[in-house]
Chains A and B, each alone.
Chain A
């Protein structure tokens, strides 16, 4: 699955092969070209250095567009409803955040809002903003900054943890009341899958290289 890169002692020579430094141990290595689907790993600590994902940007764009639509459904439509002695209540994601806020748990409510609504929404929107123009050989304004933000906020999107939280709640509520699964429940399942695929296909390094080429081309003209 993986190709090892051997570090070169003579890297300072005039060879044009670009160098790469391991993010986890700072070992300096020369880049090698990879076969599609392969990952280069550091020969010192085993961290993955860069990948060759075929059609990475196209695939990510397609997934991001799909994720955008499902995300709207997931946020607005009810996730779960319960029925106790003829009384029904249901909640959607935004309603859940608001309920917590109204109970005076503002910090927790903000935390939930950031990790399940804001971060995924911003990340998906920015991915589309960045990748759609690139698809048509254009560089959107502020592309470098956008890509930096995407890389920075990714760890704070926790849709998959929220999905598990919903499942745990279902088990907890099962003894208490009759459950009515909502549309958004399935959307969250789909969204979890889509975002997992985005993570495995999206390769920021490739976009950086792409932006490099574009700006170099622009400067030449």
Chain B
């Protein structure tokens, strides 16, 4: 009999609770489908149920909405002299041209790079998990951690629009309105956050264990 190099909880018929972390065995439940954690009463699953499928669904929805999020105006500014509609990108260009390079860079990273990076990274993770790849598990786990960490910062532009729209309401002189692009952009951020939560990083390691147990 070959030795298992690294025993996973699932490989030994145990299940760890996603909420409280308690590891429980089959002695606490009859079947895993209806099992509840004996400590916190959360539903127990060996792996997040429907992880890959729901992650794909959320991700594809995010890809689709990413297009209107970038094409539709996110902010409409009206003043005595001009009326302009800004998309995310034109807002950044405007900031850059007015000499605020640092802020332009921050907004560019948070609003353009981060959502794109998240979606591409999740696609990569999903494809590799579906193909039961054993390729660079450590790096893929790190990638997932990074996706989880940076996702929230894309909300930046939504907050900027919120503050501007509330503050710049000086009749006849200047008004700022949120544009329809903000809805699509907010949806992209929320969808990718849900997708990242749905993805189960333990799936990255499962093929390696299966192979070592053969």
Name A's B-contacting residues (CB within 8 A).
7, 9, 11-12, 18-21, 23-28, 44-47, 50, 79-82, 84-85, 87, 89-91, 95-97, 99-100, 103, 105, 107-109, 111-112, 115-116, 144-145, 147-148, 151, 155, 158, 161-162, 164-166, 168-169, 171-173, 175-177, 204-205, 208, 211-212
Contact = CB atoms under 8 A, between A and B. Distances in A.
By size class, the interface of chain B is 35 or more
B61 interface: no
B141 A25 contact: yes
A144 B187 CA distance: 31
A204 B197 contact: no
- Shortest Cβ-Cβ A-B pairs, 4 listed: A165-B159, A21-B16, A96-B166, A21-B9
B51 to A, nearest CB: 13
B169 A144 contact: no
B166 A21 contact: no
A221 B166 CA distance: 58
B205 A168 contact: no
Contacts of A115: 155
Contacts of B155: 115, 158, 161-162, 165
Given A25-B8, A111-B186, A205 B20 contact: yes
B89 interface: no
Contacts of A46: 138, 141-142
B3 to A, nearest CB: 7
Contact of B202 (A24, A103, A116, A161): A24
Contacts of A47: 141, 145
A91 to B, nearest CB: 4
